C-alpha cells in the first residue's frame, strides 16, 4: 500500500499497489502492521456499508467525541464520492481546515480519517456504495455533526444536494456550539469536566 499523508497531520490517502497478471490483479487493502508503522490506529471495531441511490446525496458531517472518538477507513466500492474531512482537534495548527478526496471504485483509493475529525461525503454517481472500517463502536451520546453548508468551514460540494437526512441538514452552525465542540474534542478532559 502507498500511504500519502495530507496537510492534516494523521490523515492519509491510501492507494493500493496492484500485482497484475492475466486474471486481473491482487492488492492489499488493509494491513495492521503497515498501519502501525505509519502510526495509524489499526483497530477495526465495526465495518459498515452505505448504499446511495442518487447522485448528489450528501452524508455528513459526522464525528464522535472522546472517549468514543473513531477512526475511519473509507473507500468507494461502487460508483464514486467526494469525501471531505475537517480537523476538529482544538490543539492542532490545522484546526477547522479540511481536505477533499475523490474516492472511486475505479481508483481503489481509501481515505484514513483520524480520531476527532468531522467526516462527510457527496455521491457523484447513482447507485454508489461506500465501505467504512471504523475504529470505535457507534456511541450515540458521543455523536455530533457539523452543518455541511456552514460558511465558516468553506466546504465546496461539486453538485446540488439531491438528498440529505433531516438530521444531517439540521446540525448546528459552528457559531452556535464551537466552545462546546472545543471542550468535548480536547485531548485531556478532566474528571470534573467529564462529570
What's the distance, CA 52 to chain centroid? Answer: 16
Question: Could you list the active site residues?
Answer: 62, 132
Q: With beta carbons less than 8 A apart as the criterion, state whether 58 and 120 touch.
A: yes
Q: With beta carbons less than 8 A apart as the criterion, state whether 118 and 154 touch.
A: no
Residue 128's contacts (CB-CB under 8 Å, 6 or more residues apart) are: 51, 52, 55, 57, 76, 78, 79, 80, 81
Q: Which three cell numbers stand for residue 6?
A: 495530507
Provide Rg for the chain, Cα atoms.
17
Residue 144's contacts (CB-CB under 8 Å, 6 or more residues apart) are: 62, 63, 64, 65, 171, 181, 184
Dihedral in degrees, nearest 10, Cα atoms 34, 114, 90, 147: 160
Amino acid at each position: 500500500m502507498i500511504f500519502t499523508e495530507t496537510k492534516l497531520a494523521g490523515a492519509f490517502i491510501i492507494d493500493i499497489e496492484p500485482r497484475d497478471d492475466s486474471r486481473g490483479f491482487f492488492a492489499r487493502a488493509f494491513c495492521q502492521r503497515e498501519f502501525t508503522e505509519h502510526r495509524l490506529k489499526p483497530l477495526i471495531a465495526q465495518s459498515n456499508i452505505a448504499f446511495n441511490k442518487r447522485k448528489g446525496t450528501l452524508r455528513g458531517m459526522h464525528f464522535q467525541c472522546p472517549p468514543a472518538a473513531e477512526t475511519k477507513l473509507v473507500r468507494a466500492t461502487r460508483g464514486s464520492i467526494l469525501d471531505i474531512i475537517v480537523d476538529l482537534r482544538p490543539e492542532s495548527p490545522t484546526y477547522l481546515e479540511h481536505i477533499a478526496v475523490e474516492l472511486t471504485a475505479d481508483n481503489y483509493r481509501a481515505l484514513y480519517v483520524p480520531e476527532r475529525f468531522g467526516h462527510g461525503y457527496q455521491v457523484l454517481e447513482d447507485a454508489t456504495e461506500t465501505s467504512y472500517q471504523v475504529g470505535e463502536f457507534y456511541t450515540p451520546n458521543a455523536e455530533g455533526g457539523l452543518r455541511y453548508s456552514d460558511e465558516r468551514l468553506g466546504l465546496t460540494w461539486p453538485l446540488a444536494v439531491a438528498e440529505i437526512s433531516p438530521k444531517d441538514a439540521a446540525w448546528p452552525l459552528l457559531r452556535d456550539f464551537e466552545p462546546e465542540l472545543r471542550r468535548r474534542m480536547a485531548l485531556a478532559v478532566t474528571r470534573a469536566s467529564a462529570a
